[in-house]
Amino acid sequence: MNIIILGQGAIGLLWYRALQHLAGNSPDIKVKICSRPAQQATRQTFTFTAFSGLSEQRPLMAADNKALNECDHLLACVKSYQVKQALEPVLPHLNADTGIILCHNGMGTLTELPPEITNKRPILTMLTTHGCLRTKSRHIRHTGQGFSDIGLVSGQLTTGQKTGLTETLNFALPQVEWTNNITEKQWRKLAVNCVINPLTALHQLKNGQILTGKFDTQISAILAEICHVAKSQGIELNPAELEQIVRDVAQATANNISSMRCDVLAGKRSEIDYINGYIHRLGQEQQISTPENTLLWQQVSAL
C-alpha cells in the first residue's frame, strides 16, 4: 500500500513517522510526504520525540509526481482552512482511484471541494485523539496516546480496501477502527471542540480549567445549540451525554493546551470558522438561533 502524507504539521509528521517505521518492517508499505519544490532538492530530516521521551532523527522522503500518481491514499493532515488550497496542486497528479483522507478539526471542508473531487473518488475522514506538539520547525513530540476512527464520507471502497487500509493504519499507530457512522462521530468531536477550544483560547486556560464550575451554564447552552443544529442535519445527539464527553475529555487532557489556544498564542489563524463558526452558519441556514456559538466564533475571530 502506498500512502502519501500532505502536511508537515504535528499530526502529519506523527503519521509519517509511524508509517515510515512500519514500512521499514514491511516491504508492501511505502510512505512519502509532500514537500515544496525547494525542499525536494535537498535531503531533509525531522526530529521525533516519542511518548516515552526518546528522540530520533528521521529522513523526510519527498513525493514527486510519479509517487503521487502511484499512491493509494493521500492522508491530508492540514488545518481545516488549508484543505482546499493544499489539495489543488497535488490533485492533477493523483490517479482516479486514489482515496483522500481528511484529518483536521471542525467540519465544513467537504462542501468547499469541487464536485469533480467529491463525486469521482473516495473521500474519508479520520478523527484522532493522539496528542502531538510541534516544538519547533521539523521537531515534533508525541504528547498523548490516543485512538483514531476512520470512515467514508463520499465515494466508495470495497470491503477489502476498507479492511486493508484500517489494518495498515492500526499497525502503524494503534488503535485505529473503521466506523460506518463517521459523520455522527464527527459531530461528537465537533461538540467537544466547540466547548474546549474557544473557552481555553479566550480565557488562556489549560483544558482541565474549564471544569471549575464557572463555565457550567455556558457549556450547557453551547451543547444545547449544537444538538438543535445537528438534528436539522439528521443527527440525534443527547445534551447530557455530550456534556459528560466534554468533561471526560477535559479531565483526560487537563494539563494540555488546546490547538486553538496554541494558534492564538502564536498569532496564527485558528480553525474557529470550522468549529463554532460552522454551527453559526448552519444555524443561519436552518433559521436556528445559536447565540452562544455565534458569540464564541466572533470573539475568537476578533483575536
Name all domains of the chain by residue range, CATH numbers in brackets. 2-180 (3.40.50.720), 184-302 (1.10.1040.10)
Q: Which amino acid is at 76?
A: A
For 281, phi then psi, to 5°, come to -65, -45
Q: What is the pLDDT of residues 46-97, one digit of tens each?
A: 999 999 999 999 999 999 999 999 999 999 999 999 999 999 999 999 998 9
Q: What is the pLDDT of residues 281-298, one digit of tens each?
A: 999 999 999 999 999 999
Question: What residues have CB less than 8 Å from 155, skipping those under 6 apart?
Answer: 99, 118, 119, 120, 121, 122, 123
Q: What is the mean pLDDT of residues 111-123?
A: 88
Please report the DSSP string for 34-86 in residue order.
---HHHHTS-EEEEEE-TTS-EEEEEE-B--HHHHHH-SEEEE-S-GGGHHHH
Residue of 30, 32, 79, 189 marked active site: 189
**Active site (annotated) includes residue 189:** yes
CB 227 within 8 A of CB 246: no
